[in-house]
Amino acid sequence: MRTKPSWNHGGPFPECLSALLAIIAMVAAGFSVSCGGGSTVPKLTGNTQVTLVLTGTANDQWTEFDLVIQTLTLTNRSGNTVNLLSAPQNTEFIHLNGGIEPLVTVTIPQDVYVSATATVGNAGFSCLTLTPMGGVDTGTFTYGQTPTANVIVNLDSPITVMGNTMALALNLLAAQSASLSSCYIGNGNATFAITPTFNLAPTTFAPQSTSPANGKAFELNGQVSSIDTANNSFVLAYPESENPRTVAVSTGAGTEYQGINSFAGLTVGTFVDMDGAIQTDGSISATRIAVEDPNATSVVTGPVLSVSDAQPSLFMWGRQQQGALFAGIHVIGAQAFSFGNATFQVSGQLANLNSLPFTPSFTAATMVPGQNVSMTSTSDNVNGGFPYTPLSTMTLMPQTIDGTVSGTSSGGNFTVYTVNLASYDVFPTFAVQAGQTTLLNNPSEIEVYVDSSTQMLNAQTLAANGTFRFYGLVFNDHGTLRMDCAQVNDGVPFTAAANANMAVARGVKGRVTVLSDVTVGPLRATNVRITAAR
């Protein structure tokens, strides 16, 4: 016969009750106990200052990806929400492929957030290709308002917001965020869809950051909008002309200046290219500040598309632009410039150029389509014919390529990786055009030079048959592409032929509006914008 345990007797049950009461007391005191019996976490009360940074993960199919992010909302386990954005934010993600830049800093309640959603207004992506006649064709495909159902924000796991400060990274997966039937739309129709797909996850800001993985921002372009001479600091306005964003920048004894001698060389209106450590309040502690042209009134950055052999002119894609030439213009797309009187130079971001086992050169004679270039001008006029808007400087800038390793060798202190590019990459697409100053021996292949200074952020072993993203300066060395590599990330699979995307294009049709039709030497290019019928 079973007997009911006596509450007055000693034995195991009172001991269990005592343990239970102890756990309850701990929870009431603000702690939770794990099943393993070891770990505790503080009770989530109060607020945390959260800095949101942007980053991108892309292959080379799209040359630009613009989004107006209207809201970014976190939801906790009880269904309560908090919006990280107080106003819509204009963003461009291809220039952030593998890099970071701060977006906003907000204060939100500490909690465990289990899901996230976003709304996107205007959205557009651009691709580049050749026409059947061999000319440059550029297409921009846009939504006026992105359907909410098209926007996805993934969390790898619930996000615990706690402590005084923390950082979150919003990563656009560009290859998954758009589909297109054909970049060339000679018949005036295209089937496409824009489905912005993000990953949102905590990230780290290290006191001495060295890479985007721990808070280092590289190649931040913008214009000085105000200066605090007493504290050697300034405010930088990003090149987002429709809704400018700004970031506070501090300098110190460790800041390196290029193109100017010191902080005193900065004035309101100066265009800078800079690197720095993102701080917990969202500001930047500058490690390098470069001024390409102290007299510049406009600057534009993006890939070269063609270089005429008939006259000193080029056709380029303006991924980012700022200044008098582009006042009120958010996206300029393709544009012609004249470089007959321009000074050619190389970004000072990478400090190991003299160690390369080849001579790194960027001149009018070695410039090729596909290279990422920052161009400055002191002119306020956009000319419709040659001579086009004159450039004062042309600076070779770092860029990210996505490619598959086919072989490995060595050169000096560098390991050299032979990397094959996708057919839609800018180099194999445009470096084969006739009527150009320089043609490449093999535009589908690039030699990537990696040394001890290269930031290795790849989880996959860097070896043959692997696909990786390489960030660095790309030179044309007597017809061979060579990159001085500053950073390696895991790659993005090559996208199959354009028609394979039709299955996910959702049947959206577009209409064509010709924005410009220009000729560079013997080359003819049409800049086309497609607007979704929404």
- Please write the tens of the pLDDT for every residue from 361-395: 999 999 999 999 999 999 877 766 778 899 999 99
* Distance (Å, whole) CA 344 – CA 376: 11
* Distance (Å, whole) CA 200 – CA 53: 10
* Distance (Å, whole) CA 366 – CA 355: 20
Superfamily name and number for 298-490: Bacterial OB-fold (2.40.50.200)
Averaged pLDDT score across all residues of the chain: 85
Which of the four pLDDT bands, split at 50, 70 and 90, describes residue 1?
very low
* Distance (Å, whole) CA 74 – CA 76: 7
Residue 378: φ, ψ to 5°: -110, 5
pLDDT at 17: 39
Whether 200 and 103 have beta carbons less than 8 Å apart is answered as no
CATH of domain 213-290: 2.40.50.320
- Compute CA distances 433 → 267, 336, 443, whole Å: 42, 16, 11
Q: At residue 36, does pLDDT exceed 60?
A: no
Q: What is the pLDDT of residues 409-433, one digit of tens each?
A: 999 999 999 999 999 999 999 887 8
Exposed / middle / buried, residue 60 (Cβ in 10 Å: 0-12, 13-18, 19+): buried
* Distance (Å, whole) CA 125 – CA 190: 13
pTM value is 0.87
Which of the four pLDDT bands, split at 50, 70 and 90, describes residue 263?
very high
Coil/strand/helix, residue 442: coil
Does a cis peptide bond (omega within 30 degrees of 0) precede residue 387?
Answer: yes
* Distance (Å, whole) CA 305 – CA 273: 22
* Distance (Å, whole) CA 131 – CA 528: 12
Which residues are registered as beta bridge partners of 417? 408, 448
* Distance (Å, whole) CA 223 – CA 225: 6
pLDDT at 516: 36
Q: At residue 21, does pLDDT exceed 90?
A: no
Exposed / middle / buried, residue 434 (Cβ in 10 Å: 0-12, 13-18, 19+): exposed
> For residue 53, what are its two tokens?
């940074």
Domains in the chain: boundaries? 47-203, 213-290, 298-490
Of 27-31, 277-281, 508-512, which has the strongest mean pLDDT? 277-281
pLDDT at 506: 32
Which residue type, as a one-letter code, is found at position 446? I
Residue of higher predicted confidence among 242 and 54: 54
Residue 351: φ, ψ to 5°: -95, 5
Q: At residue 259, does pLDDT exceed 60?
A: yes
* Distance (Å, whole) CA 166 – CA 109: 12
Q: Which of 25-34, 54-63, 349-358 has the lowest mean pLDDT?
A: 25-34
* Distance (Å, whole) CA 181 – CA 189: 9
pLDDT at 278: 97
Which residue type, as a one-letter code, is found at position 275? D
Q: Can you say how many angstroms the Cα of residue 419 is from the centroid of all Cα atoms in its chain?
A: 21
6 DSSP 8-state letter: P
- The neighbour count for residue 7, using CB atoms within 10 Å, is 8
Residue with tokens 């006739």: 434
Whether 438 and 380 have beta carbons less than 8 Å apart is answered as no
* Distance (Å, whole) CA 272 – CA 376: 11
Buried b / exposed e across 10-29, counting CB within 10 Å, b at 16+?
A: eeeeeeeeeeeeeeeeeeee
pLDDT at 435: 79
* Distance (Å, whole) CA 360 – CA 126: 30
Same fold, 213-290 and 298-490: yes
Which of the four pLDDT bands, split at 50, 70 and 90, describes residue 333?
confident
pLDDT at 395: 98
Q: What is the pLDDT of residues 236-247, one digit of tens each?
A: 999 865 567 899
Which residues are registered as beta bridge partners of 117? 73
* Distance (Å, whole) CA 11 – CA 323: 82
pLDDT at 327: 75
- Compute CA distances 16 → 10, 11, 13, 25, 435, whole Å: 11, 9, 5, 14, 86
